[in-house]
C-alpha cells in the first residue's frame, strides 16, 4: 500500500510538471525570457515552501553543514544546470531534438542507481525504459519534424540537460538516506536553485509586467506552486519508498501530459504516431510497477 502511494505521488508530480508549458507560454507572451522564468519559478516556489514550513514545522529548516552538498546537488547541479542546458539546447538544435535529449534522463538514472545504490538492473526496467523513451520520441514528433536541427555541440549540451535532470533523483536519494524530510529536501533544493538563478531576474521588469497586466502575478504564483513546489514535494516523497530508476520512468508521464494539454487547450493536432507514443509511455509505467509474477 505504501509503495502504491509512492507511485501515485511520482505520477502526480510528472503530471504537474507537464502543466508547466501552460504557464511558460503565457509568461513568454508577456516578454519573460526562459532563464527569467526559471529564476522566477525557483524563487516563488522557495518563498511558498518557506512560508509553509514556518507554519508546519520550523525544525525542518535544520540541516548539517556537512550535508549541504546534497542540496547544492539537487538545486544548482540538477535544477539550475538542467534548465540552462535545456534552454541552450533549444537555441542550438530544435525543440523536439532538445526534448528527446532531455528524456535520456531515466536511462542515466538507471545506470547511476545501479552503480551508486546497487539497485537491480532487471529486464522489466529495460523494457519499460525502452517503451518510455520510444514513446517520448513519438510524442515529441521529432521523427516527422522537418525543421529538426542537429549539431554536435547542441547534442552534448542537450545530453547535459538529461544528466542534470537525472541527478535530482540521485542527490535527493542521498539526502533522504541521511534522514532528511522530503519537505526539507524540497525547500533547500529551491533555495539553492533560486540563489543560482536570481541574477537573471530584473525586479523593475517584473514590477512593470505585473502592474501592466495584474493577471500575470497569478500565473507566476501557479508556476511556482503547481508546477514547481508541489511536484517536487510529491516526487521527493515518492522517492522515499521507490527506487530512483522506477521513479524516473514513472515521471515520463510529463511529456504525455504536455501533449494532451496542447491538444485540448491549444488545439494542437494529435497524429497517429503521437497517440501510439502516449500508449507506449503509459505501458512503460504499468510494466515497471506490475507484480513480478
Report residue 20 as a C-alpha cell: 508547466
Mean pLDDT (whole number) for 120-138: 90
> 190: helix, coil or strand?
helix
The HSE-up count of residue 132 (CA atoms within 13 Å, CB side) is 29
Percent of all residues in the chain with a pLDDT value above 70, rounded to a whole number = 96
User: Which residue, among 9, 12, 46, has the nearest Cα to 221 in the 3D structure?
Assistant: 46
| Interatomic CA distance for residues 121 and 273, integer angstroms | 29
pLDDT at 237 over 90: yes
Q: What is the pLDDT of residues 208-219, one digit of tens each?
A: 888 888 889 999
pLDDT at 270 over 80: no
Nearest 5°: the CA angle 246, 111, 288 is 25
pLDDT at 96 over 80: no
What does 56-115 look like in DSSP terms, one character per residue? H-GGGG---GGGHHHHHIIIIIIIIHHHHHHHHHHHHS-HHHHHHHHTTHHHHHHHHHHH
Residues 274/138, Cβ–Cβ less than 8 Å: yes
> What's the pLDDT score for residue 262?
81
> How far does Cα 4 stand from its chain's mean position?
21
What phi and psi, each to the nearest 5 degrees, are found at residue 271?
-85, 165
Place of cell 525547500: 187
| Interatomic CA distance for residues 289 and 285, integer angstroms | 6
Mean pLDDT (whole number) for 89-118: 86
DSSP H helical ranges for the chain: 2-18, 20-29, 34-56, 68-72, 81-92, 95-102, 105-116, 123-140, 152-177, 182-197, 203-212, 215-224, 230-239, 244-250, 253-266, 272-289
pLDDT-based confidence at residue 134 (cuts at 50, 70, 90): very high
Report residue 33 as a C-alpha cell: 525570457
Greatest mean pLDDT among 45-49, 116-120, 152-156: 45-49
Among 40-54, 80-94, 108-122, 273-287, the minimum mean pLDDT is found in 80-94
Its pTM stands at: 0.92
pLDDT at 235 over 90: yes
> What's the pLDDT score for residue 233?
96
> What's the pLDDT score for residue 90?
79
pLDDT-based confidence at residue 293 (cuts at 50, 70, 90): low
Greatest mean pLDDT among 14-28, 201-215, 242-256: 242-256
Amino acid at each position: 500500500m505504501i509503495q502504491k502511494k509512492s507511485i501515485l505521488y511520482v505520477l502526480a508530480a510528472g503530471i504537474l510538471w507537464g502543466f508547466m508549458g501552460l504557464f511558460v507560454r503565457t509568461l513568454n507572451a508577456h516578454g519573460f525570457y526562459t532563464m527569467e522564468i526559471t529564476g522566477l519559478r525557483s524563487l516563488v516556489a522557495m518563498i511558498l515552501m518557506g512560508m509553509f514550513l514556518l507554519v508546519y514545522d520550523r525544525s525542518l529548516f535544520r540541516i548539517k553543514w556537512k550535508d549541504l552538498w546534497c542540496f547544492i546537488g539537487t538545486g544548482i547541479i540538477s535544477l539550475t544546470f538542467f534548465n540552462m542546458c535545456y534552454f541552450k539546447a533549444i537555441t542550438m538544435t530544435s525543440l523536439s531534438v532538445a526534448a528527446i535529449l532531455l528524456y535520456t534522463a531515466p536511462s542515466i538514472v538507471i545506470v547511476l542507481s545501479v552503480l551508486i545504490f546497487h539497485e537491480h538492473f532487471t529486464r522489466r526496467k529495460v523494457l519499460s525504459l525502452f517503451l518510455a523513451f520510444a514513446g517520448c520520441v513519438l510524442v515529441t514528433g521529432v521523427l516527422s519534424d522537418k525543421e529538426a536541427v542537429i549539431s554536435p555541440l547542441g547534442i552534448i549540451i542537450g545530453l547535459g540537460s538529461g544528466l542534470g535532470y537525472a541527478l535530482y533523483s540521485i542527490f535527493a536519494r542521498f539526502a533522504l538516506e541521511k534522514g532528511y524530510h522530503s519537505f526539507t529536501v524540497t525547500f533547500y533544493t529551491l533555495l539553492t536553485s533560486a540563489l543560482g538563478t536570481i541574477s537573471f531576474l530584473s525586479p523593475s521588469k517584473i514590477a512593470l509586467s505585473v502592474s501592466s497586466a495584474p493577471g500575470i502575478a497569478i500565473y507566476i504564483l501557479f508556476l511556482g506552486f503547481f508546477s514547481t513546489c508541489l511536484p517536487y514535494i510529491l516526487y521527493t516523497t515518492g522517492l522515499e519508498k521507490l527506487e530512483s530508476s522506477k521513479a524516473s520512468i514513472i515521471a515520463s508521464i510529463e511529456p504525455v501530459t504536455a501533449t494532451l494539454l496542447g491538444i485540448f487547450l491549444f488545439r494542437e493536432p494529435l497524429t497517429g504516431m503521437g497517440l501510439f507514443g502516449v500508449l507506449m509511455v503509459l505501458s512503460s509505467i504499468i510494466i515497471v510497477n506490475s507484480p513480478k509474477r
